[in-house]
């Protein structure tokens, strides 16, 4: 427990920058993004599920699909603050998780970050109800677990920084993709549209909110991770 809660040495600055470049390389090219986006979908649907539980809703199932879409089903009042917060949690989950991870890395708690991520993935796995979803969450959780158990501090640090950079950078792109789909008449039942129906606030304003959260998290995370 002491090792988990303790601090670890900060990596060299070039490693921090190199992991940021590696994460950006997984986000920008479309072929790689089609694969790596699965991890952002895990965070997205996990965000819906976690906030549903926190607000007192009954979480029934989470499904993750091979086209990187997902679906989280919860039961409770169809309107009200709990439903609004649950709907708003998807597109903001990856950036906020990245920001939280950056704060932990900024305080040199690499091991704690890895174990918290593993615990969240295991908890999410219990609620996943389709084979592809189980496979992706199990694979991601196993990767975190193996790095935590079988590698030394240097490898753990590189992996943790790469993962946090990926959440921060990868958390920005989905809102722009949703905006493009809506511009061409698609995604009519997106989170932004559901929030518009729940709050009577236009969907474009909710899109602006998603952009604001993801970009603010990226800026904040950058300040935690990069030491001038």
* pLDDT higher than threshold 70 for residue 228: no
Closest CA to 4 of 107, 116, 97: 116
pLDDT band at 219 (very low <50, low <70, confident <90, very high): very high
> What's the alpha-carbon Rg for the chain, to the nearest Å?
17
Determine, yes or no, domain membership for 1.
no
The pLDDT assigned to 20 comes to 98
Determine, yes or no, domain membership for 92.
yes
CA distance 101 to 218: 11
Determine, yes or no, domain membership for 185.
yes
Q: In a 3-state reduction of DSSP, which class is residue 70?
A: strand
Q: In a 3-state reduction of DSSP, which class is residue 28?
A: coil
Considering the entire predicted model, what is its pTM? Answer: 0.95
Determine, yes or no, domain membership for 91.
yes
Residue with more model confidence, 56 or 228: 56
pLDDT (tens digit per residue) in 6-57: 677 889 999 999 999 999 999 999 999 999 999 999 999 999 999 999 999 9
Determine, yes or no, domain membership for 139.
yes
Determine, yes or no, domain membership for 3.
no
Under a CB-based contact definition with an 8 Å cutoff, are residues 166 and 32 in contact?
no
pLDDT (tens digit per residue) in 101-132: 999 999 999 999 999 999 999 999 999 999 99
The pLDDT assigned to 4 comes to 64
The pLDDT assigned to 142 comes to 96
CA distance 167 to 37: 10
The domain total for the chain is: 1
Give the range of the structural domain holding residue 193, as residue numbers without chain letter.
11-225
Determine, yes or no, domain membership for 6.
no
């Amino acid at each position: 427990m002491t090792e988990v809660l303790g601090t670890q040495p900060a990596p060299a600055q070039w490693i921090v920058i190199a992991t940021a470049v590696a994460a950006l390389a997984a986000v920008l090219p479309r072929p790689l993004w089609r694969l790596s986006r699965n991890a952002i979908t895990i965070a997205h649907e996990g965000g819906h599920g976690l906030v549903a539980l926190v607000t007192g809703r009954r979480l029934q199932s989470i499904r993750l699909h091979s086209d990187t879409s997902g679906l989280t089903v919860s039961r409770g009042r169809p309107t009200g603050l709990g439903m609004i917060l649950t709907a708003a949690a998807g597109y903001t989950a990856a950036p906020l998780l990245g920001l939280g991870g950056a704060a932990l890395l900024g305080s040199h708690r690499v091991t704690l970050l890895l174990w918290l991520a593993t615990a969240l993935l295991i908890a999410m796995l219990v609620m996943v109800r389709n084979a592809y979803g189980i496979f992706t969450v199990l694979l991601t959780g196993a990767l975190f677990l193996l790095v935590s158990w079988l590698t030394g501090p240097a490898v753990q640090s590189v992996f943790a920084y790469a993962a946090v950079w990926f959440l921060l950078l990868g958390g920005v792109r989905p809102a722009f993709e949703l905006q493009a789909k809506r511009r061409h008449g698609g995604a009519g039942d997106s989170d932004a549209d559901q929030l518009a129906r729940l709050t009577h606030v236009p969907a474009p304003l909710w899109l602006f909110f998603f952009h604001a959260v993801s970009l603010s998290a990226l800026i904040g995370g950058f300040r935690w991770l990069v030491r001038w």
